[in-house]
Chain A
């Protein structure tokens, strides 16, 4: 069964590019979250892609330099976002 990641419905993104971060408002339960650049990137990639597809796009964006690179780092980022209830896994047929 294919597994892919989607953002939780109702979250609102407020990019703060001058600080290289993004504020995210979560409606249920209400909270304001702060994401740095790579977590923000990971969140935007959770648009129905599989984890492999996200990893490819993530690697293309971050390149090979810096502490934010690598598949385990991405997996940790997705875990953080899932724990904050900003994204969730879906299984089954992908919506077009």
Chain B
């Protein structure tokens, strides 16, 4: 076993810090690196594009987010992620992959909100966006109402985070980097 006294020989003694670490956000506890069986609704079947919002949150905000994600809605009985998943499926654009956290002791926890766009029909990205937009403005039924409220909550959480990034990731096997219509710069050798 490594003795901390050996390390202190070369360092100035810091003020003591001991804290419980927040763990994976959809559970109540356990090791951060424990592999849990995913609920059926998170199975990434047929994923074509992964949309990802990423940011860093303070520990307080992270715990607030975790509490939000863990609490089922009194009306639908669904947790927020399950409601988002059900709503994305109901409008036929894809499903929810979930909220993931990478936590360190000395850095702000990094959080990823991930969605899979896997349309049931052949839809281009504009049609997918229009369907999501319509749902955000006019949610149909209690599950979509809950999903829209949850999406607004996590989007606001993301906007107030640090170092936000946003992007859509496509599976490499489903795109052709040599096709000038899809990738003009790579195809032109730039």
Q: Footprint of B on A, CB under 8 Å?
A: 13, 15, 17, 19-23, 25, 29-44, 61-63, 65-69, 73-74, 76-77, 80-81, 84, 86
Contact = CB atoms under 8 A, between A and B. Distances in A.
A73 B4 contact: no
Contacts of B19: 33-34, 80, 84
Contacts of A73: 15-16
What are the 7 tightest A-B residue pairs by CB atom distance, in nearest-first order?
Answer: A68-B13, A77-B16, A62-B13, A66-B12, A66-B13, A39-B18, A34-B105
Nearest to B105: A34
Contacts of A17: 2, 7
Contacts of B21: 23, 31-34
Contacts of A84: 18-20
Interface in B4-44: 4-5, 7-8, 11-21, 23, 29-32
Contact of B18 (A15, A33, A63, A68): A33
Interface residues of B, number: 25
Nearest to B106: A19
A19 B15 CA distance: 15
B60 interface: no
B13 A67 contact: yes
Contacts of A65: 12-13
A38 B15 contact: yes
B18 A81 contact: yes
Contacts of B4: 15, 22, 37-38, 40-41, 44, 61
A65 to B, nearest CB: 5
Nearest to B12: A66
Contacts of A23: 21
Nearest to B22: A32
B121 interface: no
